[in-house]
Amino acid sequence: MPVTLTSSLAPVIGDKSAKPLTKAFGMQTVGDLLRHYPRRYLEIGQLTPMSSLEVDQHVTIMAEVRAIKTFPFGPGGRRTRTEVLVTDQTGEITLTFFSRVFGIKTGDVGLFSGVVGSFRGKLQLTHPQHDAIGDRLARGVVPIYPASAAAGSVLIERCVGLALDAVEDLPEVLPDEVRRERGYADVAASFESIHRPYSVAEGMAAKARFRFEEAFVMQTVLAQRRHRATASTAAARPPRDGGLHDRFVAQLPFELTRGQQEISDAVSAELASAHPMHRLLQGEVGSGKTVVALLAMLQVVDAGGQAAMLAPTEVLAAQHHRTITRMLGDLSRSGMLGGAEGATRVRLLTGSMGTRARQESLLDLVTGEAGIVVGTHALIQEGVEFADLGLVVVDEQHRFGVEQRAALVDRYETRPHVLVMTATPIPRTVAMTVFGDLDVSVLTELPAGRQPIQTNVVPIADRPAWLERAWERVREEVGRGRQAYVVVSRIGDESSDADSPTSSLVELHEDLAGGALHGLRLGALHGRMSADDKDAVMSAFAAGRIDVLVATTVVEVGVDVPNATVMVVMDAERFGISQLHQLRGRVGRGSEPGLCLLVTTADAASPSAERLKAVASTTDGFELSRLDVSMRSEGDVLGTRQSGFRSSLRLLSVVRDEDVIVAAREVATAVVEADPELAGHPVLAAAVAALEATDGADYLERT
Ligand code: ADP
Ligand code: MG
């Protein structure tokens, strides 16, 4: 049997070597090993000289064996300890093995890798992995692999060598002309170059090829999805003159911003086509995405269809329901007193609604009486039937499971149009991967007259009095008829975190009521309250019957109370950059400037304090998201569900490799357009299928 990438590893490199590799890296196949690429390359002359070894360092050294001594040890002296003295031009070090050692003799020159330890004041390597220098001297370059103590770089290098010599039939994923155009070597030569280069440059060139390959396969998956989405059909929902849409525009109390107008026009045209719209609307916090969505929904209703808006929380669903009903006024009161001629009905559907209200909503959906429904994931459940669902709007996508959206959309033979809205600005590269099958519109402009938000960091570790000043500011705002949010990181009714140094909602609410904010009308809002209670509190706050809302991050997304002008965030270092940006977007939504106070006990020199400073320094969400992404690891950026997918990314960084992703996307799109089912590219088709099959492919938005 020829050895291929899918062959089992142990027979090729031997059980004894395979074991530590499987244990440390989960390697099972020859492919797993060959795709374990060097972290970097060192020219022989750059290997760590012995004079500069440091304890706990993971090192690979080249040295000559000077002396080998064995000593008996252990009970009865039945075991053997071996000490090998090795030297280079700069010094010497002892290698200690608690066994006999084979394959090393005096005068040999070899590579040794391991973790530097110290024994009786002298540096040593215990059980280093070793290999004869062999033809590495001729090549002049040593690859350094991601390693562990039991699976050191030298061991990996030796095993890779065995695998490279044995493997046949390497699959070429890149189409020939792509490879030629980009000047990449073929796959066999590239594996050779990445593991056994004759120069650092040769290794790097091979890395570039495999990096591109990763981006290319991923973008081919996405290009195929885009292709299928456009090939499928949707009901065309053209605008109707004098319909609800036009009447709503006529009664809007404000002018649309230019951005809102442009995106609405584009959306309108897409809704009118018989292919499903599939658009991501990214908009800065407070940029007015809801109106854009509402206009789209009304066009669909005018065309005889229904629109569903999915919100990530009950608070937000209830708020959207209220806002939309209010904005539509008599246009939303079909069959009711004061309802306009040709009006529609707006329904709410959430998991915690009473049976009767739920039945009413369901009935209006199935009969088509309700043109618009706003809801949570309850909208996706069995038993929710629409008369004619034409548009799904997903608000604040980052909180919403991809599968959940798919569950609503995939059910129907003719697909509804889809508009996804998010206020979390996503860097271009991430949008191209995570949302790679969506067209993206960006709403950057805020409505005219919108007031800036001033953000201050309030470090109370060394200046406790500043917290008092913060509460004073809250009192001042309330004194002027304004409202405030106080945001905390935990609820605090659970005993488990009683010792936590952070403020809890329960305690702070009590403290403030009896102290700094005595006499003001306080309310509390958190995720564990019943839906009715939450709704009652939000309505009271929206109506101005509560002055200060002490809340957890349930207020993070989308909550819109224009009269709120100040927000105090307690233990602000507990929150991420994007989250803080979202949070402060709750103030400064009316005609008054907003103030956000980030209260923190973090040390001024700590990374947390740096993040808070960054948030305070700009209100540009895109700038902040770039920062956020650069401060987080790749896995965080792509999300937790994408483990399988992430494991297929070995060289590509979604954060750093924008140019590679852009190029790969272009090439992949062209390949898919010319050959949608990849009939002429069987190897690529197999790679695509393999990626789709990983759990991680879920991350890639489904249509
Ligand atoms: P977000 O994009 O954060 O979801 P919203 O849609 O909630 O923002 O809009 C924020 C506020 O701005 C709302 O009170 C909304 O009525 C108002 N608004 C939206 N568009 C405009 C506009 N063109 N001019 C003035 N106010 C607007
Ligand atoms: Mg919103």
Write the DSSP assignment of 55-95 as a string of letters: TT-EEEEEEEEEEEEEEEESGGG-EEEEEEEEEETTEEEEE
Helix pair 531-542, 314-328: axis angle to 10 deg: 50
Q: What is the pLDDT of residues 425-470, one digit of tens each?
A: 666 666 666 666 677 788 877 787 777 889 999 999 888 889 999 9
Distances (CA, A) of 225 to 186, 566, 579, 700: 28, 44, 31, 9
Q: What is the CB neighbour count within 10 angstroms for residue 574? A: 18
- Is 698's pLDDT higher than 50? no
pLDDT, position 403 = 55
CA 691 – CA 127 distance, rounded (Å):
39
Confidence of residue 42 (pLDDT cuts 50, 70, 90): confident
Q: Which ligand is nearest to the CA of 558?
A: 2
Q: Which ligand is nearest to the CA of 316?
A: 2
Q: Atom of ligand 1 at shortest distance to CA of 287?
A: 2
Confidence of residue 479 (pLDDT cuts 50, 70, 90): very high
Q: Which residue has the higher pLDDT, 649 or 75?
A: 75
Q: Which ligand is nearest to the CA of 257?
A: 1
Stretch 174-197: mean pLDDT:
95
> 22 C-alpha vs ligand 2 centroid, how far in Å?
48
Determine which residue's CA is closest to atom 5 belonging to ligand 1: 288
Counting ligand 1 atoms within 8 A of each CB, the residue from 248, 254, 309 with the most, and so the one to mutate, is: 254
pLDDT, position 640 = 35
CA 212 – CA 691 distance, rounded (Å):
15
Say what percent of the chain tops pLDDT 70: 89
Residue that the structure tokens 């650069």 belong to = 630
pLDDT, position 413 = 67
Q: What are phi and psi of 618, to 5 degrees?
A: -150, 150
Determine which residue's CA is closest to atom 20 belonging to ligand 1: 288
Determine which residue's CA is closest to atom 26 belonging to ligand 1: 447
- Is 104's pLDDT higher than 90? no
Q: What is the pLDDT of residues 66-93, one digit of tens each?
A: 999 999 988 888 899 999 999 988 889 9
Distances (CA, A) of 465 to 92, 324, 452, 514, 606: 59, 43, 26, 18, 21
Confidence of residue 404 (pLDDT cuts 50, 70, 90): low
Residues in contact with ligand 1 (CB, 6 Å cut-off): 254-257, 260, 283, 285-291, 423, 447, 558, 560, 562, 589
> 395 C-alpha vs ligand 2 centroid, how far in Å?
7
Residue-by-residue DSSP string for 208-271: HHHHHHHHHHHHHHHHHHHHHHHHS--------TTSHHHHHHHH-SSPPPHHHHHHHHHHHHHH
Counting ligand 1 atoms within 8 A of each CB, the residue from 257, 290, 556 with the most, and so the one to mutate, is: 290
> 558 C-alpha vs ligand 2 centroid, how far in Å?
4
- Per CATH, 244-271+288-422 and 453-618 having the same topology is answered yes
* β pairing state of 58-73 and 278-283: unpaired
Say what percent of the chain tops pLDDT 90: 50
Q: What are phi and psi of 633, to 5 degrees?
A: -85, 160
Determine which residue's CA is closest to atom 18 belonging to ligand 1: 288
> 623 C-alpha vs ligand 1 centroid, how far in Å?
21
pLDDT, position 28 = 94
> 257 C-alpha vs ligand 1 centroid, how far in Å?
10
Determine which residue's CA is closest to atom 12 belonging to ligand 1: 288
Stretch 14-23: mean pLDDT:
94
Q: Which of 95-99, 270-274, 586-590 has the lowest mean pLDDT?
A: 586-590
- ∠ CA(661), CA(665), CA(671), 5° rounding? 145
- Is 216's pLDDT higher than 90? yes
> 578 C-alpha vs ligand 1 centroid, how far in Å?
20
Q: Atom of ligand 1 at shortest distance to CA of 292?
A: 6
Confidence of residue 352 (pLDDT cuts 50, 70, 90): confident
Q: Which ligand is nearest to the CA of 290?
A: 1
Ligand 2 (single-atom ion) residues, CB below 5 Å: 558
Q: Which ligand is nearest to the CA of 562?
A: 1
Q: What is the pLDDT of residues 520-536, one digit of tens each?
A: 999 999 988 888 888 89
Q: Atom of ligand 1 at shortest distance to CA of 443?
A: 2
Which CATH architecture does the domain made up of 10-175 adopt? Beta Barrel (2.40)
- Residue 364: strand, helix, or coil: helix
pLDDT, position 697 = 43
Q: Atom of ligand 1 at shortest distance to CA of 327?
A: 16
Q: Which ligand is nearest to the CA of 542?
A: 1
* β pairing state of 79-88 and 122-126: unpaired
Report yes or no on whether pTM surpasses 0.85: no
Stretch 614-629: mean pLDDT:
80
CA 291 – CA 281 distance, rounded (Å):
12
pLDDT, position 559 = 77
Closest by Cα among 514, 509, 519 to 475? 519
Q: What is the pLDDT of residues 354-374, one digit of tens each?
A: 889 999 999 999 999 999 999
Q: What is the pLDDT of residues 280-334, one digit of tens each?
A: 898 877 788 999 999 999 999 999 999 999 988 888 898 899 999 999 999 998 8
* 453-618: CATH class: alpha beta
Determine which residue's CA is closest to atom 25 belonging to ligand 1: 447
CA 688 – CA 653 distance, rounded (Å):
19
Token pair for 689:
């299928």
Residue-by-residue DSSP string for 620-657: -HHHHHHHHHHHS-HHHHH-GGGHHHHHH-SS--TTT-
Determine which residue's CA is closest to atom 19 belonging to ligand 1: 288
Residue boundaries of the structural domains of the chain: 10-175, 176-236+622-703, 244-271+288-422, 453-618
Q: Which of 129-133, 184-188, 498-502 has the lowest mean pLDDT?
A: 498-502
As a whole number, the mean pLDDT across the chain is 86
Query: Which CATH superfamily is 244-271+288-422 part of?
Result: P-loop containing nucleotide triphosphate hydrolases (3.40.50.300)
- Is 694's pLDDT higher than 70? no
